[in-house]
Structure 1
Amino acid sequence: MSRSSTNRKRKAIIEKSIDNFGDDGEKTFVGHGGFGDREAFKKECATLEKLRHPNIVAYIRSRNVSDGGQQMLAIVMEFCEKGSLRQVLFDAKIIYSMRTVLTWSKQLFSVLTYLKQNDVIHRDIKPDNILVTKNFLLKVGDFGSIKLKADSCSGTFVGTLRYMSPPRAGEPVGRKDHFMSSHRNDVYSLGLVLWEIVEQR
């Protein structure tokens, strides 16, 4: 069972495998990007290794892999059997109640509270980046767009446009950038996710 998505610099592969760690999911970064891309991937690994929350995909290890002679970096994470939240929402065979919606809401807001306490901004909260276990527990994943509080503001918008909060009219550019890269934007994105959960019920 596998699922993959790609863009110019990254490739994610999630597959079920059996090794000394049990059932794992593996996310692989294709190393044909520049040095900065590899540094971003290492930053993601370092952040995931420190984060411990029941609703964040558990980090297991990172390693170097080779594909046809091409060197890649890989993150091995826990396997979530139901796939992404988007897959669950659009699966006609899965019916969930408002009680489940409330439970999921508590789980996801708990993650945002935890991230804020640890000075981490996710910046790409969306159904595709929320995974679902066999027991329908939600797990936030894909920390490839994270921003740490100590990082300087690059002025670059990162994330998925549909789930980005609109810049507030009349504010200087610097203030807009600050808002887009703040915890408030994660809350805005989560609000849209919850609306989709209710709308698809």
Structure 2
Amino acid sequence: MSHGIRAEVKVGPKSVRLEGPAELVSRIEMDVHDGTLRTRVDKKLFSGFKGSSVRLYVSSPRVEGIHASGGSHVDADATRTDEFDVEASGGAIVNVRGVDARQVETEASGGSKVTLAGRATDFDVEASGGSIVRALDVKGVKTLDAEASGGSRVEVDASDRVSGEASGGSVLQLVSRPSQSDVRASGGSKVVYKD
């Protein structure tokens, strides 16, 4: 998802619907590659494109990951999967409910914001460039590997082990102290426990 488009992703029978001004909708190209729906705006027609006026409604029996960029806004429901993957860049906003995975991998950059809720056992996160990852509503996390830089904020709770690095004024927030912790904090960064 890109170019500021607002998308709603639901679990259900396969369907895709675009809504918005005809002159904008006609400039959007969609295709499916390796089971992933992709949207693009023709480069020759990008000038003056206001994606925030366009709504994309997607329904799929499997929702195993979300990738958003360029100021897009995605609200999604997830399906059970071994690994759930979220990527957000360029100020994108991603909200995902119903995560049910062994492992969650999240990458946020360029001022993006990712909010997740559900269940997972292992959580890997990279946040940079002032991004925010809020995942305190992901329950059951045992291990967390976090990399936060450039004033980013990561909020995840893990019971057994936390490892990683926080730099450049970043914050790693946990609810409780895990059994093992190996987080290197530098450049004004900190690890905060809510307990």
Answer 1 or 2: which has greater helix percent.
1
Q: TM-score, normalised by structure 1?
A: 0.25
Higher RCO (CA 8 Å, separation ≥ 6 residues): 1
